[in-house]
Amino acid sequence: MVKIVYSFLVLIVVCICACVFYLVNPNDAQYKSYYSQLQYFKAMDSGDINKAIDSLNNPVSIKYHYAQNFMLSNLLISAGRYDEAQKVIESFEKEYDYSHCAPRKFWGKLFCRLEFAAIGQPKFEYRKNLYLSKLYFAKGDYKKAVEYDNADKNRDVCYSTRLLSASGDIDAANKFMNLCAKKYEKARYPRAMHIARGSYLMAQKNYKAALSEFEKDIKLSNCQSIKTCRGNSTTYLYMAQCYKKLGNNSKALEYYNKILTSEPWNYKAKEEIKKLKK
């Protein structure tokens, strides 16, 4: 009887040890993804796009990490690698991310995992339709982009304004522009509103007024003096397009080059520079 009890206790200890090892195993794919994300940020700061993509291009990041999937797909879209971006967006399954436990010591990691098991995963909304809409917007397929934007349950009214303005549907763009302005009328940093209004004015061929809106956005960004800051790329792209429409190609080149300063891989900026230099 004593031997049976002893064997049972040994079995319990072995099971507990196995569970603990499973929870704190440094080779866990989720823990590795935490360090992959750190590598991504370092690669982005150094402008090494291939290293940045490789760091997040793994099944765990793509399928279970909302933020990492979003960063990777955005980077691929910016680089003009649209087919790869679409695969990444469509591969997302659910948010299941405990990688934040990775940097903790043994006991901290163990309790972090137990807490994760008890509380569960915070709910994140992965807006697949919105991201697919942005993909097709970047490709210039406005019909598909609008289709996915319409399917987005919590649509971004300022983004919808930009998309509909680009597609030439001025009446619909006006409707969403009003909603966007109402949303941000009391906001401290209404950047999305200025960009949306600027794109709406561009659709009406009022390029000087559009530039004024984009300049307001730039002033709010606090990003001009930071070489690696990518927060103004969209605005710079619109400004370059405005100057091109106004016949000021030298200014257009200036703004396309500003994009390449922080995003040397930016596909649209590089293609537009080639056209202007012909």
| pLDDT tens readout for residues 136-152 | 999 999 999 999 999 99
Asked if residue 239 lies in contact with residue 211, where contact means CB atoms within 8 angstroms, the answer is yes
- How far CA 136 is from CA of 49, 133, 139, 172, 185, in Å, comes to 21, 5, 5, 19, 29
Q: Which is nearest to 134 in space by CA: 45, 74, 222?
A: 74
Is residue 268 in some structural domain?
Answer: yes
Q: For 46-74, what is each residue's pLDDT tens digit?
A: 888 899 999 999 988 899 888 899 999 99
Q: Are residues 109 and 159 in the same domain?
A: no
pLDDT tens sequence across 172-203: 999 999 999 999 988 888 899 999 999 999 99
- Tell me: do 94 and 219 sit in the same domain: no
**With 60 as the cut, is the pLDDT of residue 224 above it?**
no
Confidence category of residue 165, pLDDT binned at 50, 70, 90: very high
The answer to whether residues 102 and 157 belong to one domain is no
Whether residue 216 is contained in a domain is answered as yes
Same domain? For 49 and 151 the reply is no
Q: Is residue 5 part of a domain?
A: no
DSSP class per residue in 190-225: -HHHHHHHHHHHHHTT-HHHHHHHHHHHHHHH--TT
Q: What is the pLDDT of residue 21?
A: 47
Domain coverage including residue 109:
28-119
Number of domains observed in the structure of the chain: 2
Task: Return mean pLDDT, the chain.
Answer: 86
Same domain, 94 and 152: no
For residues 197 and 248, membership in a common domain is answered with: yes
pLDDT > 70? residue 27 = no
The average pLDDT across 243-255 equals 95
| Domain-located, residue 129 | no
Given 119, 134, 164, the domain boundary residue is 119
Domain containing residue 161: CATH number: 1.25.40.10
Among candidate residues 199, 179, 196, the one with its CA nearest the CA of residue 239: 199
Percent of the chain with pLDDT over 70: 85
164 and 91 housed in the same domain: no
Question: So what's the pLDDT on residue 122?
Answer: 66
